[in-house]
Structure 1
Amino acid sequence: MASAQEPKLPQRSAAEIAPGPITGITTRRRERGRYLIALAGTPAFTLTEETLFRAGLQIGDDLDTAAIARLLADDDVAQATETALHFLAYRARSEQEVRARLKRGAFSPEAIDAAITRLNDWRYLDDADFARRWVESRASGKPRGQRLLQQELRQKGIDAETSRQVIAEAGLDEVAAATALARKRLGAMPGEDPAAVRRKISAYLARRGYGFDVVRKALEQATGERMDDEDLGDQDPAT
Structure 2
Amino acid sequence: MALGQRPRRRAREEPEREGPPDAPADPESVARTICLNLLTGRARTRAELATELARRDVADEVAVAVLDRLEEVRLLDDSAFAEQWVDSRHRHRGLGRRALSQELRHKGVDTEVANAALDELDPESERAKAAELVRRRLPSLDRVEPQAAARRLVGMLARKGYGAGLAYDVVRTEMAARGAELEGDVPDDDAL
What's the TM-score, normalizing by structure 2? 0.81
The answer to whether residue 134 in structure 2 is matched with residue 182 in structure 1 is: yes
Q: Do 2:168 and 2:186's aligned partners in 1 also have CA atoms closer than 8 Å?
A: no
How far apart in 1 are the matches of 2:150 and 2:63?
Answer: 50
Q: Deviations over 1:39-95 (max 9, x none)?
A: xxxx66244xxxxxxxxxxxxxxxxxxxxxxxxxxx101110111011101111111
Q: Deviations over 1:12-63 (max 9, x none)?
A: xxxxxxxxxxxxxxxxx99x6672524xxxx66244xxxxxxxxxxxxxxxx
How far apart in 1 are the matches of 2:65 and 2:86?
Answer: 29
Q: Do 2:147 and 2:182's aligned partners in 1 also have CA atoms closer than 8 Å?
A: no
- Distance change (3 Å), C-alpha of 1:33 and 1:164: farther
What's the TM-score, normalizing by structure 1? 0.66
Q: Do 2:164 and 2:187's aligned partners in 1 also have CA atoms closer than 8 Å?
A: no
Q: CA RMSD in A?
A: 2.4
Alignment of 1:46-195 (within 5 A): 46-47=24-25, 75-172=26-123, 173-195=125-147
- Distance change (3 Å), C-alpha of 1:78 and 1:234: same
Identity of aligned residues (%): 32
Q: Deviations over 1:154-197 (max 9, x none)?
A: 00111121111111123252221111111112112221121111
Greater percentage in strand: 1
Larger Rg: 1
Q: Which has the higher contact order (CA 8 A, sep 6+)?
A: 2
Q: Which runs of 5+ in 1 are unaligned?
A: 1-28, 48-74
- Distance change (3 Å), C-alpha of 1:230 and 1:150: closer
Q: Do 2:82 and 2:117's aligned partners in 1 also have CA atoms closer than 8 Å?
A: yes
- Distance change (3 Å), C-alpha of 1:156 and 1:80: same
SS of the counterpart of 2:17? strand
Greater percentage in helix: 2
Q: Deviations over 1:197-233 (max 9, x none)?
A: 1111111111111002211221122111466336789
- Distance change (3 Å), C-alpha of 1:81 and 1:189: same
- Aligned counterpart for 1:45 among listed residues 23, 36, 45: 23
